[in-house]
Amino acid sequence: MRDLLPHTPQVAVFDTAFHQTMPPQAFHYALPADFYREYGVRRYGFHGSSHRYVARSASRYLGIPLEQLNLITLHLGNGASAAAIERGESIDTSMGLTPLEGLIMGTRCGDLDPAVHFYLQRKTGRPFGDIEGILNRESGLKGICGMNDMREIQRSAAQGDPQAELALSMFCYRVRKYIGAYYAALGTVDALIFTGGIGENSAVVRSRACYGLTALGISLDERRNGTAGGEITHIQMHDSRVKILVIPTDEEREIAEQTVEVIRKKGKG
């Protein structure tokens, strides 16, 4: 790019940057400390541009400064992650050293007992490289039911396909568990935000992910939920303590805005 556009400033916006505010208790793995020091083995998190964009959009929509908001953001797409945002800063997120950890995704398994790798290796005799490929590209929704398009899965589940129903249930249950975990991490939550292809478009997933959370102050309005999409919408009941928002993400815009910020600061410096 330097050769092609020698006078254009180049800015790198890392998808992990937003999560750099995670405290040590959240970003460390319980492994020998040398692995962190020597190899940088820690949780980094991804989808940072998306989590930051929807957090800032929520602040504008609610008319409350970001520094005063506690949020749980759920980026549910082919890749999926959750983030706990305390007074505008990421304090935890579900992806780790790589995007494999956390929620169930289109083809990634998400959280898994690490011993499964060794067990599979012993049982199948396949090298670790193969198993890594299976966990990344043959697992998740696709592994469970053979499909990774949520629209198709919902259709098949509605027609009685038990594997599609299992995939849908597992996906939503994992999201619900993360909402509970991040609620505990934050103490109080002002808003729950759904984004990403599934989060923005699937009323079924949003409904199931919020199911049974009334005791936490999270009450979804099914009528609003059913018509949400395309623009920022709130979908909570009028007496829900926690706001529930559907926000279309725009990672490209977030990257462009951060690029402008960097260039402006550099110009001033």
Residues that bind ligand AMP (CB under 6 A): 77-78, 106, 149-151, 154, 196-198, 201-202
Strand 233-234's sheet: what is its strand order?
A: 89-93, 80-86, 71-76, 191-195, 243-246, 233-234
Nearest to 145 by CA among 158, 164, 118: 164
Q: Is 130 a catalytic residue?
A: no
Residue whose Cβ sits closest to ligand AMP:
197
Paired tokens of 117: 């790798």
In the bound state with ligand AMP, the residue whose beta carbon lies nearer, of 192 and 203, is 203
In the bound state with ligand AMP, the residue whose beta carbon lies nearer, of 131 and 246, is 246
Contacts of 69 (CB under 8 A, 6+ apart): 55, 58, 59, 62, 85, 87, 88, 190, 191
Minimum gap (Å) between residue 16 Cβ and ligand AMP: 18
Quote the CA–CA distance of 84 and 77 in Å, as a whole number. 18
In the bound state with ligand AMP, the residue whose beta carbon lies nearer, of 45 and 91, is 45
Minimum gap (Å) between residue 197 Cβ and ligand AMP: 2
- Calculate ∠ Cα 19-47-6, nearest 5°: 95
The catalytic position among 15, 92, 161, 190 is 15
Q: Where are the beta strands (DSSP E) in 105-218?
A: 191-195
Minimum gap (Å) between residue 117 Cβ and ligand AMP: 26
CB-CB contact of 193 with 207 (8 Å): no
In the bound state with ligand AMP, the residue whose beta carbon lies nearer, of 198 and 242, is 198
Minimum gap (Å) between residue 153 Cβ and ligand AMP: 8
Catalytic positions, please? 15
